[in-house]
A = this chain, B = another copy of it.
């Protein structure tokens, strides 16, 4: 992995543990064992770094969701594979969803970063809406109204659950995800 990718990886980690404005080029430099100015060489300003981060996440999500589609046909299996990504974040113990981390600072961020975050989340919601619509079409998932709305609810609840879970523990996270699952199974 070249230096630029290393910086991006480290920045992604710091974003999800500390938030965007609360990590500095100095933090990155210390973690990577190089000087602050060297990071400015790769990412001239923090806005550039932020934009690169949103692109990084968008690419990663695109690849991940495409891989899920290749590996699974069944809507429930696809949904569970998607939920695994959130569970992975939760397992780290001190991370939250990258989208949520950015959104919490919406009023402080350059517009281009906000647009990148919106594009990222729109992509995820759109994929999820497809899975949910398919599941309902097959009669194995149950929810009212539009699939896009159920996808919005699911994403919002997962973001909230990751934040709540980081502060208050796994039971709370599991409660939210379990309730989402139970609702879709039509147990309501």
Contact = CB atoms under 8 A, between A and B. Distances in A.
Interface of A: 17-19, 21-22, 94, 96, 100-101, 103-108, 114, 117-118, 121-122, 142-146, 148-150, 152-153, 155-161, 163-164, 166-168, 172, 175-176, 178-180, 182-183, 185-188
Given A144-B187, A179-B144, A183-B143, A166 B103 contact: yes
Given A121-B167, A156-B160, 11 more contacts: A121-B168, A144-B183, A144-B188, A146-B175, A149-B176, A149-B178, A153-B161, A156-B158, A156-B159, A157-B157, A157-B160
A133 to B, nearest CB: 14
A188 B142 contact: yes
Contacts of A94: 106-107
Interface of A is mostly: helix
A178 B167 CA distance: 27
A45 B158 CA distance: 34
A156 B164 contact: yes
A109 to B, nearest CB: 9
Contacts of A117: 167
Contact of A100 (B17, B104, B144, B183): B104
Each complex incorporates copies of this chain amounting to 2
Given A167-B103, A168-B118, A183-B144, A108 B160 contact: no
Q: Which of A94, A107, A122, A187 has the most CB of B within 10 A?
A: A107
A143 B161 CA distance: 18
A6 to B, nearest CB: 22
